[in-house]
Amino acid sequence: MPHVNRLDPADPEAPAPAADARAAMRGRPDAAPRFRSILFERPEDAARTDHIDEPSFFADLNLDQLVAAVTVGREEYQLRPFFYVPLHDGEAVRYRHDILRDLEKEPVLAAVQAFAGQMRQMREQLVQAGKLHYRYQQERWFLDAVASYCAAVSTLTDGLARLDVQSRGFRAFREYLTDYTATGGFTTLVSATRMRYSDLAAVSYSVHIRGNRVRVSRSGEEPDYSAEVENTFAKFKQAAVKDYRVGFRDGPDMNHVEARILDLVARLYPEVYQALDDYCTSHEHYLDPAIAAFDREVQFYIAYLEFIERFRRAGLSFCYPRVSARSKEIRADESFDLALASKLVPGKTAVVCNGFFLSGHERILVVSGPNQGGKTTFARMFGQLHYLASLGCPVPGKNARLFLPDRMFSHFEKEEDITTLRSKLEDELTRIHQILQEATSNSIVIMNESFTSTTLSDALFLGTEVMQRIMRLELLCVYVTFVDELASLSEATVSMVSTIVPDNPAVRTYKVVRKPADGLAYAAAIAEKYGLSCERVKERIPS
pLDDT digits (tens, 9 = 90+) for 342-387: 999 999 999 999 999 999 999 999 999 888 889 999 999 999 999 9
Closest CA to 439 of 67, 57, 46: 57
DSSP state of 245: P
The answer to which of 72-76, 118-122, 255-259, 415-419 has the lowest mean pLDDT is 415-419
Whole-prediction pTM: 0.84
- Asked if 351 and 340 touch (Cβ cutoff 8 Å), the reply is yes
- Asked if 502 and 471 touch (Cβ cutoff 8 Å), the reply is no
Reported as a single tens digit per residue, the pLDDT across 155-167 is: 999 999 999 999 9
Helices vs strands, H then E, count in the chain: 18, 14
What whole-number distance in Å separates Cα of residue 360 and Cα of residue 329? Answer: 7
Pairing of strands 364-368, 476-480: parallel
Under the banding of pLDDT at 50, 70 and 90, the label for residue 210 is: confident
Reported as a single tens digit per residue, the pLDDT across 142-194 is: 999 999 999 999 999 999 999 999 999 999 999 999 999 999 999 999 999 99
- Asked if 132 and 59 touch (Cβ cutoff 8 Å), the reply is no
* Amino acid 66: pLDDT: 97
* Amino acid 26: pLDDT: 35
What whole-number distance in Å separates Cα of residue 536 and Cα of residue 368? Answer: 21
Closest CA to 93 of 372, 460, 316, 404: 404
Residue 197 CA to chain centroid, in angstroms?
Answer: 37
pLDDT above 90 coverage of the chain, percent: 64
Name the average pLDDT for the chain. 87
What whole-number distance in Å separates Cα of residue 1 and Cα of residue 129? Answer: 35
Helix (H, G, I), strand (E, B) or coil at 340: helix
Residues with Cβ < 8 Å from 474, sequence gap 6 or more? 328, 363, 441, 492
Closest CA to 262 of 216, 222, 299, 221: 216
DSSP state of 343: H
The dihedrals phi and psi of 209, each to the nearest 5 degrees, come to -120, 125
DSSP state of 268: H
* Amino acid 11: pLDDT: 41
DSSP state of 517: -
What whole-number distance in Å separates Cα of residue 523 and Cα of residue 370? Answer: 9
For the chain, the C-alpha Rg in angstroms (whole number) is: 32
- Asked if 125 and 145 touch (Cβ cutoff 8 Å), the reply is yes
What whole-number distance in Å separates Cα of residue 309 and Cα of residue 69? Answer: 13
Residue 286 CA to chain centroid, in angstroms?
Answer: 26
- Asked if 136 and 29 touch (Cβ cutoff 8 Å), the reply is no
What whole-number distance in Å separates Cα of residue 494 and Cα of residue 497? Answer: 10
- DSSP letters along 277-298, please? HHHHHHTTT-S-HHHHHHHHHH
Under the banding of pLDDT at 50, 70 and 90, the label for residue 35 is: confident
* Amino acid 225: pLDDT: 76
Closest CA to 155 of 199, 197, 115: 115
* Amino acid 524: pLDDT: 59
Burial of residue 304 (number of CB atoms within 10 Å: 0-12, 13-18, 19+): buried
Q: Looking at per-residue confidence, does 187 or 217 come out higher?
A: 187
DSSP state of 493: E
The dihedrals phi and psi of 320, each to the nearest 5 degrees, come to -90, 110
What whole-number distance in Å separates Cα of residue 230 and Cα of residue 141? Answer: 34
What whole-number distance in Å separates Cα of residue 288 and Cα of residue 122? Answer: 14
Residues with Cβ < 8 Å from 318, sequence gap 6 or more? 308, 311, 312, 394, 395, 396, 397
- Asked if 13 and 141 touch (Cβ cutoff 8 Å), the reply is no
Q: Looking at per-residue confidence, does 225 or 330 come out higher?
A: 330
The dihedrals phi and psi of 339, each to the nearest 5 degrees, come to -65, -40
CATH pick for 314-540 out of 3.40.50.300, 1.10.10.10, 2.60.120.380, 3.40.720.10: 3.40.50.300
Angle between helices 256-268 and 135-162 (to 10 degrees): 80
Residues with Cβ < 8 Å from 532, sequence gap 6 or more? 526
Pairing of strands 399-403, 395-396: unpaired
Helix (H, G, I), strand (E, B) or coil at 409: strand
Closest CA to 336 of 384, 373, 304, 298: 384
- Asked if 373 and 389 touch (Cβ cutoff 8 Å), the reply is no
Closest CA to 356 of 385, 376, 327, 319: 385
Reported as a single tens digit per residue, the pLDDT across 97-126 is: 999 999 999 999 999 999 999 999 999 999
What whole-number distance in Å separates Cα of residue 228 and Cα of residue 231? Answer: 5
What whole-number distance in Å separates Cα of residue 15 and Cα of residue 6? Answer: 13
Closest CA to 290 of 87, 25, 4, 113: 25
